């Protein structure tokens, strides 16, 4: 027997339709690349998103085609979020911090048909435009007056505002099956080339509902939300979806992510909730401290991407009255998996006991199931002591990478259920609070962004004086982790640290460059000839980087 409820698909367009109908006058404020502050509303965003959909159709973009963006957090980027996905195309947000070679690879792998970009990235666009195979349309996200002076260098360059001005916005959002692909993000948190994570309309709407819950980000119509986390990083943790759904005011910081710029927006716009990686908050707190300032409206800050130091959690709470929501997730998880929200028994606990709860990665939000397993694959107890590989499953968690890269990543259990291996090692308390204790992956997480150690090793070992190289994570007070290159020279060869670091120039994104190089007589190898990087990590566990 089936229930007798309406069959209405969960589509991303429904979020902006709801916002237009019920929160149409709520503001969306953006710091633009042009330098000014721009104000619009959800009603105007919805209208222009329909114009985006019409423009895409006129450019020949069809259901399932990928449309890429290289853009900051801003109202035009938000219009693309809804105009692209709402029309049935797939929004592909590209991380501009990647090396041009990686961007070319990703654009080709995704088979992007169009690329929309903020003016900041004009030099990057010029570096990749002649190398991509499928991109037919390049669109500068500005008006005609702000087109680059040397726009003629890219024949056929289109102007975003001109495209929209040619449309009337009389467009009905199409209905299609809710499992239709909606957006695509590539993760470099794996070995080898970045892999695509293809989200669906259903997974995105369900993730949005869960993220807005009181024990997650807890956003409502009286809030003002400023996502510092970029819209090119896992869909800005879903905030650009949940703000219009709940009717919260949305403030988009554009390229101004320094402490001064963020603080000015927080105060002038009455921000109550924000979200970002720890390195951003370090810069903000340093500015606030140095100038003897306070937060007049902000009350909650979601911090994820990498572990938030307990000292930062304490400082936010004790000095500024801001509660940190420590969260954990992955690109493969849309991304939210856990949030460190209190349970009723914590209300009467001491401040130190509550701080200990806030310092964990939190407990699973509804929709996410998790477990830890030992080397034998058997589930370990939630006793706060046992540590094992963390596996997850749920309706917004990846089942396969785009185009089946890497094959089936899921780990089956005795009942045949597939679990996604996160690559993290964790323990879980009896109350369900998860603590990351280590990472089984060899990638390095710097300021919330992944750096592939194998890529760095391959470049180093291409140097004629290097016999073997291993890249490991070293602790850093600001970036959490930075790459440390461990090198064994060829017999009789000579090379300096400066020589090796210079060898990386032009081959990778500059911020991927190792912070230091150490030379050793030998690199430990296992029985199969693989480098035992766990032993190197132990050896250099307390190593102090020159940049620390």
Cα separation, 40 vs 26, whole angstroms: 8
Least Cα distance to 75 among 38, 110, 115 occurs for: 38
* Cα gap 450→355, rounded to integer Å: 28
* Six token digits for residue 354: 């509550």
Question: What's 235's DSSP letter?
Answer: G
Q: Which helix (H) or strand (E) holds 28?
A: strand 27-31
Q: Which residues pair with 68 in a beta bridge?
A: 92, 115
Distance, in Å, from the CA atom of 41 to the CA atom of 68, rounded to the nearest integer, reads 24
The sheet that has 66-70: what strands, in order across it?
Answer: 158-159, 137-140, 112-117, 66-70, 90-93, 181-187, 195-200
Chain position carrying tokens 């480098």: 531
In this structure, the dihedral spanned by the alpha carbons of residues 504, 507, 513 and 514, taken in order and rounded to 10 degrees, is -50
Residues with Cβ within 8 Å of 75's Cβ and at least 6 positions away in sequence, in order, are 28, 30, 38, 40, 45, 252
Cβ burial 199-234 (10 Å sphere, 16+ → b, else e):
bbbbbbbbbbbbbbbebbbbbeeebbbbbbbbbbbb
Extract the tokens encoding 423: 């690559």
Tokens of 247: 């009717």
CA distance linking residue 65 with residue 96, whole number of Å? 21
DSSP assignment of 497-526 equals HHHHHHHTTTTS-GGGS-SEEEE-S---B-
Q: Is the bond preceding residue 67 a cis peptide, omega within 30 degrees?
A: no
CA distance linking residue 454 with residue 513, whole number of Å:
13
Three-state SS for 101? helix
DSSP helix/strand/coil, 321: coil
Half-sphere exposure of 229 (CA within 13 A, CB side): 27
Supply 377's token pair: 């694959």
Q: How far apart are the first and last CA of the chain?
A: 64
Per this entry, what is the length of the chain? 548
Q: Output the CA torsion sign for 26, 31, 32, 38.
A: positive
Residue 465: closest CA among 441, 481, 498, 487? 487
Give the catalytic positions in this structure.
187, 332, 445, 450
Residue 89 CB: number of other CB atoms within 10 A? Answer: 25
């Amino acid at each position: 027997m089936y229930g007798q409820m309406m069959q209405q698909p969960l589509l991303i367009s429904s979020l902006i339709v709801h916002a237009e109908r019920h929160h149409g006058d709520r503001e969306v404020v953006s710091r633009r690349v042009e330098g000014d502050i721009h104000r619009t509303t959800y009603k105007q965003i919805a209208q222009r998103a329909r114009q985006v959909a019409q423009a895409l159709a006129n450019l020949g973009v069809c259901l399932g085609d990928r449309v890429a963006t290289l853009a900051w957090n801003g109202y035009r980027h938000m219009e693309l979020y809804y105009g692209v996905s709402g029309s049935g195309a797939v929004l592909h947000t590209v991380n501009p911090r990647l090396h041009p070679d990686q961007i070319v690879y990703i654009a080709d792998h995704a088979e992007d048909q169009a690329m929309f970009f903020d003016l900041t990235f004009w030099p990057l666009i010029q570096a990749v435009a002649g190398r991509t195979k499928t991109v037919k349309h390049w669109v500068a996200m500005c008006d005609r007056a702000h087109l680059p002076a040397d726009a003629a260098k890219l024949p056929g360059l289109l102007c975003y505002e001109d495209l929209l001005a040619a449309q009337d916005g009389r467009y009905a959002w199409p209905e299609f099956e809710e499992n239709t692909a909606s957006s695509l993000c590539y993760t470099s948190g794996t070995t080898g080339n970045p892999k695509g994570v293809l989200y669906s309309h259903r997974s995105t709407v369900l993730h949005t509902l869960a993220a807005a819950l009181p024990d997650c980000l807890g956003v409502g119509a009286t809030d003002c939300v400023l996502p510092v986390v970029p819209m090119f990083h896992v869909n800005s943790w879903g905030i650009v979806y949940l703000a219009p759904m709940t009717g919260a005011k949305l403030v988009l910081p554009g390229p101004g992510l320094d402490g001064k710029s963020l603080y000015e927006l927080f105060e002038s716009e009455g921000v109550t909730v924000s979200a970002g990686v720890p390195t951003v908050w370090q810069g903000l707190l340093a500015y606030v401290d140095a100038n003897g300032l306070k937060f007049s409206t902000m009350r909650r800050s979601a911090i994820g991407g990498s572990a938030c130091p307990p000292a930062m959690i304490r400082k936010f709470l004790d000095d500024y009255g801001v509660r940190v929501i420590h969260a954990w997730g992955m690109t493969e998880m849309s991304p939210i998996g856990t949030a460190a929200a209190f349970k009723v028994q914590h209300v009467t606990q001491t401040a130190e006991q509550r701080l200990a709860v806030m310092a964990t990665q939190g407990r699973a939000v509804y929709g996410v199931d998790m477990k830890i397993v030992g080397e034998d694959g058997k589930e370990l107890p939630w006793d706060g002591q046992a540590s094992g590989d963390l596996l997850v499953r749920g309706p917004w968690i990846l089942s396969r990478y785009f185009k089946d890269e890497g094959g089936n990543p899921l780990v089956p259990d005795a009942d045949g259920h597939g679990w996604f291996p996160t690559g993290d090692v964790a323990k879980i308390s009896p109350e369900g609070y998860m603590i990351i204790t280590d990472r089984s992956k060899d990638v390095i997480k710097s300021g919330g962004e992944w750096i592939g150690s194998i890529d760095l090793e391959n470049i180093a070992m291409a140097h004629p004086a290097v016999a073997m190289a291993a890249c490991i994570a070293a602790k850093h007070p600001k970036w959490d982790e930075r790459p440390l290159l461990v090198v064994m020279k060829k017999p009789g060869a000579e090379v300096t640290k400066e020589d090796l670091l210079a060898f990386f120039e032009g081959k990778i994104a500059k911020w991927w460059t190792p912070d230091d190089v150490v030379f050793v007589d030998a690199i430990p190898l296992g029985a199969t000839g693989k480098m035992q990087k766990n032993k190197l990590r132990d050896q250099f566990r307390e190593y102090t980087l020159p940049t620390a």
